[in-house]
Structure 1
Amino acid sequence: MTATMLSHAGRVIRPLVTLAGLVAVWWGLARWGHIPPYMLPGPDAVVHALWTQRGQLGPAALTTLEETLLGLLLGIGAGSALAIGMALWAPLRRWVMPMVLLSQAVPVFALAPLLVLWFGFGMASKVVMAVLVIFFPVTSTLGDGLRQTEPGWMDLARTMGATRLRVLLHIRLPAALPSFASGVRMATAIAPIGAVVGEWVGASSGLGFLMQTANTRFQTDLMFAALGVLAVMTVLLWWLVDRVLAHALYWQRPHVDVD
């Protein structure tokens, strides 16, 4: 077995071993920790709920996934547009950046009721919540990447008579892509938070709504099942986005191999 194959095998085995250890601790606490099942159901009860309640969990997961994807697309688009606008016109940054920072200073839990009031109990309020959650990471990382372009490249482009737009398209944006990719990865990991928070406040479907309903009925096993589905969905979505970005930025390689 080659070193590359061993490295790939290690990347798969290590998370599985960690997950197995966490499940073993969870099972031990549920079995011998004298904790009531309505507070901490065992893994077997959660697996049973996953199977018996699959008719609820499946549609709920699809609803939350749709909200997350729409929020992700709109948030990345809006954040990228604002970052590029601030890079092209410096006064825009001085006027808009304080408002962007202010939007992050207000907890999303405080904004959720207002968004439901303004946009209703449908999908729109959840998408807007997801956009607000991921807007800042995308704007910040892309903006930093655009500002940190190698000065020598900029001087050479100006010497050759390149316009600001050409400098942006051919030098600054390509140089900022690694920073932008980091922001997209971060946004992908936290986008479901906005959708679920919106569902907790007011919704008629989705994993957050299902968890809220199960909580009021003391169906803790169903709550854990919905939480597990949300975690798996988030990890798979992040992995997919990471793979796409890794292939798109094929020239970017880590300097240190941590395996």
Structure 2
Amino acid sequence: MKLWQRGGAATLFLLALFILWEVIVRWQEIPMWLLPAPSAIVTEGFQSLPDFIPHILATIELTLVGLCIGASIGFIIALMLHRLPIVNRMIYPLLILSQNVPTIVLAPLLIIWFGFGLLPKLIIISLVCFFPIVVATMDGLKNTDPALKHYMQMMGATKGQTFWKLELPYALPSLFSGLKIAATYSVMGAVISEWLGAKKGIGVFMTYAQSSFRIDRVFVAIFTIMLLSMALFAVIQLLERTLVKGRAKEV
């Protein structure tokens, strides 16, 4: 009930913002090429939907593949840093530095090195996704109850058994927090990669719209990106509730 109340309040607030936007645009007679009204954006969205759907599907496919790769790499790196303190001290500062390189600057280099195929796009998405997974997973593993860990060691549990039965269940909430952050970044990473060279995708659709001064189509693309991010976030949140509650019952 509380979730629905929060969702309803957010919906009403957004509706009020759109109404205010519509009133200001019509009252000030702002031209379409400068700032279209929400009603014009919705109309254009429905009219361009048949041509827009292939671009949406291409971005969804690229986002999901890149997110899976980035999350897997982040999870593996987090386990390695957790198990090997020496490697942690050497590699972790480099991981932090890697996040200070602007993606929009790195992307053209990846295109030069790897061409215009799928690989550079997946690298871009993986780069923006893996770091939240690494940080969140490491924090979750560190939060394991020391008393329970010591108890399992006293019972003769191996490191693998301790990880699967104790450390991983404790880390799941943190892992999903990082995964939700990475999910929102993955859509952005996919669009950025499409700007630099692709045949289909929301980024391509947006580029064409900007070059032809179709600002209404640009806003259609922006709102679609927001909806995709929210949908992916909601799916991961639903998965989190299912798995974390199940693990809690087992433990």
TM range (shorter): over 0.9
Match of 1:53 in 2: 48
Instruction: Please state how far the C-alpha of 1:174 moved relative to its aligned partner.
Output: 1.2
In 1, distance between residues paired with 2:101 and 2:3?
42
Tell me the residue number matched to 1:117. 112
Q: How many percent of aligned residue pairs carry the same amino acid?
A: 33
Could you tell me which amino acid in structure 2 is paired with residue 49 of structure 1? Answer: E
How many residue pairs get aligned? The number is: 248
User: Could you tell me which amino acid in structure 2 is paired with residue 209 of structure 1?
Assistant: V
CA offsets 1:48-73 (integer angstroms, 9 cap, x no match): 21122112211111111111101111
1:99 to 70, 94, 118: 94
Q: How does 1:36-47 map to 2 (within 5 A)?
A: 36-47=31-42
Out of 162, 170, 173, the residue aligned to residue 157 of structure 2 is 162
Residues 68 and 32 of structure 1: CA distance in aligned 2, closer, same or farther (over 3 Å): same
* Residue pair 2:209, 2:218 contacting (<8 A) in 1 also: yes
From 52, 69, 84, the equivalent of 1:74 is: 69
1:142-178 per-residue CA deviation (whole Å, 9 max, x = no partner) reads 0111122111112212222222222222211111111
Q: Corresponding residue for 2:9?
A: 14
Residues 75 and 135, structure 1, Cα contact 8 Å, conserved in 2: yes
Residue among 147, 150, 169 paired with 1:152: 147
The equivalent of 2:178 in structure 1 is 183
Pick from 229, 232, 235 the counterpart of residue 237 of structure 1: 232
Give, in whole Å, the separation in 1 of the partners of 2:122 and 2:66: 5
Q: Is the 8 A contact 2:187 2:228 kept in 1?
A: no
Q: TM-score, normalised by structure 1?
A: 0.90
Relative to the length of structure 2, the TM-score reads: 0.92
What secondary structure sits across from 1:186 in the alignment?
helix
Distance 1:155 1:46 in 2: 60
Kept in 2, the 8 Å contact 1:121–1:204? The answer is: no
Residue of structure 2 equivalent to 1:224: 219
Residues in 1 aligned to 2:93 and 2:103: alpha-carbon distance in whole angstroms: 18
**Structure 2 segments unaligned to the other structure (5+ residues):** none
- CA distance in 1 between partners of 2:52 and 2:224 (Å): 8
Inter-CA distance 9–83: structure 2 relative to 1 (3 Å threshold): closer
Deviates more, 1:51-60 or 1:179-188: 51-60
Q: How far apart, in 1, do the equivalents of 2:96 and 2:233 lie?
A: 25
CA RMSD of aligned residues (A): 1.8
Partner SS, residue 250 of structure 1: helix
Q: Which residue of structure 2 lines up, in the alignment, with residue 137 of structure 1?
A: 132
Q: Distance in 2 between matches of 1:89 and 1:106?
A: 26
